[in-house]
Chains A and B, each alone.
Chain A
Amino acid sequence: MKEQLYRKEIWITIVFSVLLMLTGHCATLFVAFPFLKGGTMWGFPVEYIVPILMGWFGMMVVCIAMALVCNKFDDDMEEFAKSQGQTVMSDKTGGK
C-alpha cells in the first residue's frame, strides 16, 4: 500500500505537470507541426484562438481534475497513516 501510494503521487505529479505544460504552451505545437495551422475558428486562425482557449478553459479543466485527484489522494494518505497509527503534518499539528 505504501509503495502504491508513493508511485501514485509521482505519477499524479508527472501527468498533471505535463498537462499544465501542454495547455500553457499549446502554441509551440503549431510551430513544431505547421500542418496544424490553416483552419479558422470563430473567425480567428486556429493557431491564435486555440492556444488562448487552452491557456484559459483547457487549463481550468486540468486544474479542476488536479484538485479532485490530489484532494482524494490526500484523503488516501491520511487514511493510510491513520491505519498505521501515525500522525501526518497538518494545521492540527501546527505544520510540524
Chain B
Amino acid sequence: MSNEFAIDNVWIGIIVVAILFAICYFIGWWASKMTTSEEDFYAAGFKIGPVTNGLSMAATWASLATFLGVIALISKLQVPFVYLWIQWAISIPLLTLLYGTSLRRMKAFTPATFIKARYGKGATITIVLWMILIMIMYALGQMIGLGQAFEMLFGIPYNVALIVSGIATVGFITMGGMYGASYNAAFQMIIMTVAMIVPMGAIMKAMGSSGWWFPPLAYGDMVPAMLKVLPTFFDMKYDVRWYFALIPAFTLGPVALPHLAMRVFTSSSVKNARWAVVWFVLFLGLLFAGTYTSGFAGNYFVATTGKTIAKADQTLLILNVFYNPMWVAAFVMGGALAAGLSTVGGNLMAISGLVGNDLLGILAPKMEAKSRIRWGFVALGMGGVIAVLLAFKPPKFLVTSILWAFGLLASTATPGILLGVWWKEANKLALIVSANICGLIFIIISPHVFPSIVIGKGATAALGMSGGLVTVPLSFALFIFLSLIFNRMPALSAWAPSLADKQVIDRIHGWGDYDENRYNGKVWPVVLALVCLLISFWGLQPWKF
C-alpha cells in the first residue's frame, strides 16, 4: 500500500512509538499487580472514579477512525457525516440511563452476564456469539488502522507493520486486564486530544484563521472562503428518512456495544457511573469537535490550494506535514495510535469477558475462578491474533466495516438487553428467534454478502443504515409479538420467564420487594411493536440516496 505521507526521518517515528508503548507497557505491568480476582480482571475491581472513567469511556469510544476514517468520510460526504458522528455521543449516556446502572447494580462484568441471569443459557450463547463476531470486526478495523499508522510512521510494508503493531498492542493489553485497559485508556485520551487540537491550532493559523486559539469552534472566519470555492460543503444533502435512519443503526447499535457497557460497569458506584458520563460527554465532545475541524480544514486545503489528497484517510497527517514540523506530525500519528490502542483494549477485554466469564460460565460451570481468568487471558490474546490475521486484506475505507457492524448489533443484541431490563414478558425463545432472524436478514440485505439483494444504495446501504431501518425495528416488533404468543403456549412454557427471571428485573431496578405488575404491561409494548412495524415498512420503500 503506497503512501502520500511518510515521515522522512524514521527515527522520529520510532521515538514517538517507543515512548507511547513504553508508557502503555508500564501501566499494563503496574495494573497487572493489582489484578488478583475476576472482579479485578473484568471490571477493574469496580473501583474506577468518575473523571478517570470519563476519560476512559471517551478513549474507548473514540477509535482510530476519529483520526483517519472519519476525516476521509467528511471529505467524501461532507457535513452529513459530521451529523452522523455527533450522535455517537448519545450512546454511553443512553445505555447508562436505560440499563447501565441497573447492570452495574448487579455487578455484571458484561451485558451477557445480565442476559444469562434473565434469559438463561440458550439466549446467552446466541447473544454472546453475535457480540464476539461484532467485537472481532471492530478490533479488525482498529488493527488495520494500527498497521497503516505503523506503515506511515516507518515506511515499512503494510503486512510487516500489521504484525509488529499487532504483537506490540496485544502484549500490553493482555498484561493489564481491565485495570490496565482503564488507566491506559485515560492516558491515551489525553494524548489523542492534545494531538488532535494543538497542532490543528497551528494549521489554522497558517491557513489564516483568527480562531486558531480554539480550533474546535473558532474557525467561523474561514467559512466565507470555503463557501466561495466549495458552496455545497454545508448542504444537508439527504432527506428526513436518511437522518432518521441514523437512529436504529447508529444510536441503538452502540447502546449494546459490550466494551462501552463494560466501562460503565467499572465505575466505583452506580452514582459515579452517572457522573462519569458527564465527563465522557465533555472529553468526547472536545475531541470530536476537533475532528470536525480537521474534516473542514481538509476540504478547505483541497479547495483553496488546488492540491489533491488521493488517500483521504491520511488528510490530518498531510495537513500536519504541510503546515507543521515533522516531529509534530509524528506526535499526531502517536495520537492516532493512542486512539486505536484504547479501542482495541476495550474490544479485547469485551471478547475476554464474553468468553472467559459468560461462555465458560455456561460450558464449564464448575470451573474455578482462577482457571476462568486464565481462559479470559487466552481469549483476549486469541481475539487479538484473529483480528491481526483478518486484517491482512483491509477494506477500502477503514471505518465502513465497523459502522456496518453497529446495525448488526442493533438487530441482534439491543432488543434483548433493553426489553429484558424493562419488560417481564420478554421470552427466552422469542429472543433467540428474533435476534437470529433479524441478524441474518440484515446480513442478506446489505451489499457486502449478496450484492443483488440490497435495500438502499451506495454508502447508505454499505454503512448498514437502510438495512438497519428495516431490521432493527423488525427485531423489536418480532421479539414483542413472539414473546406475547410464546408465553401463552403451554408447549413452550419452559421458555417463558420464570418468577426468578422476573425478580431479577425488580432487583436490578433497585426495588427491595417484588411486584408482578411492575414492568409487565401489554398495551405499550404492542403499541411500540406496531410503530416499529411501520418504521420497518418505511425502510423497505425505495431509497433515493
Q: Is A39 an interface residue (CB 8 A)?
A: no
Check if A25 sits within 8 Å of B292, measured CB to CB: no
Check if A27 sits within 8 Å of B90, measured CB to CB: no
Q: A9-B509, A20-B93, A55-B86 are in contact. Are A25 and B246 (CB under 8 A)?
A: yes
Question: Measured between C-beta atoms, what is the minimum distance from A58 to chain B in Å?
Answer: 9
Question: Measured between C-beta atoms, what is the minimum distance from B18 to chain A in Å?
Answer: 34
Closest to A6 in B: B518
Q: Is B372 an interface residue (CB 8 A)?
A: no
Q: Is B98 an interface residue (CB 8 A)?
A: yes
Question: Measured between C-beta atoms, what is the minimum distance from A38 to chain B in Å?
Answer: 11
Check if A67 sits within 8 Å of B277, measured CB to CB: yes
Check if A70 sits within 8 Å of B221, measured CB to CB: no
B101 / chain A contacts, CB cutoff of 8 Å:
70
Alpha-carbon distance between A33 and B274 when the two chains are bound, in angstroms: 33
Alpha-carbon distance between A5 and B309 when the two chains are bound, in angstroms: 58
Q: A31-B236, A44-B220, A95-B107 are in contact. Are A20 and B277 (CB under 8 A)?
A: no
B 258-311 contacts with A by CB, 8 A: 269-271, 274-275, 277-278, 281-282, 285-286, 288-289, 292
Category for how many chain A residues contact B? 35 or more
Q: Mark A5-37, 1 if CB is under 8 A from B, else 0.
A: 010010001001100110111111011100001
Q: A16-B97, A42-B218, A89-B507 are in contact. Are A52 and B82 (CB under 8 A)?
A: yes
Contact of B282 (CB < 8 Å), options: A32, A51, A60, A67: A60
Best-buried of A26, A51, A89 by chain B (most CB within 10 Å): A89
Interface of A is mostly: helix
Check if B107 sits within 8 Å of A91, measured CB to CB: yes
Check if B223 sits within 8 Å of A81, measured CB to CB: no
A31 / chain B contacts, CB cutoff of 8 Å:
236, 238-240, 243
A25 / chain B contacts, CB cutoff of 8 Å:
87, 90, 243, 246-247, 251
B222 / chain A contacts, CB cutoff of 8 Å:
43
Q: Is B79 an interface residue (CB 8 A)?
A: yes
Question: Measured between C-beta atoms, what is the minimum distance from A27 to chain B in Å?
Answer: 4
Q: A16-B97, A27-B83 are in contact. Are A48 and B234 (CB under 8 A)?
A: yes
Question: Measured between C-beta atoms, what is the minimum distance from B420 to chain A in Å?
Answer: 15
B513 / chain A contacts, CB cutoff of 8 Å:
2, 81, 84, 86
Q: Is A90 an interface residue (CB 8 A)?
A: yes
Q: Is B23 an interface residue (CB 8 A)?
A: no
Closest to A81 in B: B512
Check if A28 sits within 8 Å of B240, measured CB to CB: yes
Q: A31-B240, A48-B82 are in contact. Are A21 and B512 (CB under 8 A)?
A: no
Alpha-carbon distance between A80 and B101 when the two chains are bound, in angstroms: 19
Check if A52 sits within 8 Å of B289, measured CB to CB: yes
B247 / chain A contacts, CB cutoff of 8 Å:
21, 25
Alpha-carbon distance between A14 and B519 when the two chains are bound, in angstroms: 14
A48 / chain B contacts, CB cutoff of 8 Å:
79, 82, 234
Alpha-carbon distance between A49 and B509 when the two chains are bound, in angstroms: 38
Alpha-carbon distance between A9 and B106 when the two chains are bound, in angstroms: 18
Check if A20 sits within 8 Å of B90, measured CB to CB: yes
Question: Measured between C-beta atoms, what is the minimum distance from B541 to chain A in Å?
Answer: 17
Q: Mark A66-88, 1 if CB is under 8 A from B, else 0.
A: 11001100100110110010111
Q: Is B545 an interface residue (CB 8 A)?
A: no
Question: Measured between C-beta atoms, what is the minimum distance from A25 to chain B in Å?
Answer: 6
Q: A43-B220, A84-B512 are in contact. Are A55 and B79 (CB under 8 A)?
A: no
Alpha-carbon distance between A51 and B46 when the two chains are bound, in angstroms: 35
Contact of B90 (CB < 8 Å), options: A24, A42, A86: A24
Check if A13 sits within 8 Å of B97, measured CB to CB: yes
B512 / chain A contacts, CB cutoff of 8 Å:
80-81, 84, 86-88
Closest to A62 in B: B93
Q: Is B105 an interface residue (CB 8 A)?
A: yes
Check if A21 sits within 8 Å of B93, measured CB to CB: no
Best-buried of B236, B251, B510 by chain A (most CB within 10 Å): B510
A80 / chain B contacts, CB cutoff of 8 Å:
512
A9 / chain B contacts, CB cutoff of 8 Å:
509
Q: A16-B97, A78-B510 are in contact. Are A43 and B223 (CB under 8 A)?
A: yes
Contact of A67 (CB < 8 Å), options: B238, B278, B515: B278
Check if A88 sits within 8 Å of B511, measured CB to CB: yes
Alpha-carbon distance between A20 and B90 when the two chains are bound, in angstroms: 6
Closest to A41 in B: B220
Check if A71 sits within 8 Å of B507, measured CB to CB: no
Alpha-carbon distance between A26 and B83 when the two chains are bound, in angstroms: 9
Contact of A47 (CB < 8 Å), options: B221, B234, B508: B234
Closest to B50 in A: A67
Question: Measured between C-beta atoms, what is the minimum distance from A88 to chain B in Å?
Answer: 5
List 5 contacting pairs A-B, 8 Å CB cutoff, sorted by A: A31-B238, A42-B220, A52-B289, A54-B86, A81-B513
- 7 shortest interchain CB distances as A-B pairs: A43-B220, A86-B512, A95-B107, A56-B285, A81-B512, A24-B90, A55-B86
Chain B interface residues toward A at CB < 8 A: 46, 79, 82-83, 86-87, 89-90, 93-94, 97-98, 101, 105-108, 217-224, 234, 236, 238-240, 243-244, 246-247, 251, 269-271, 274-275, 277-278, 281-282, 285-286, 288-289, 292, 507-513, 515, 518
Known A20-B94, A53-B217; 10 more pairs at CB < 8 Å: A6-B518, A21-B247, A25-B87, A25-B243, A27-B83, A27-B236, A31-B243, A56-B89, A89-B106, A96-B106
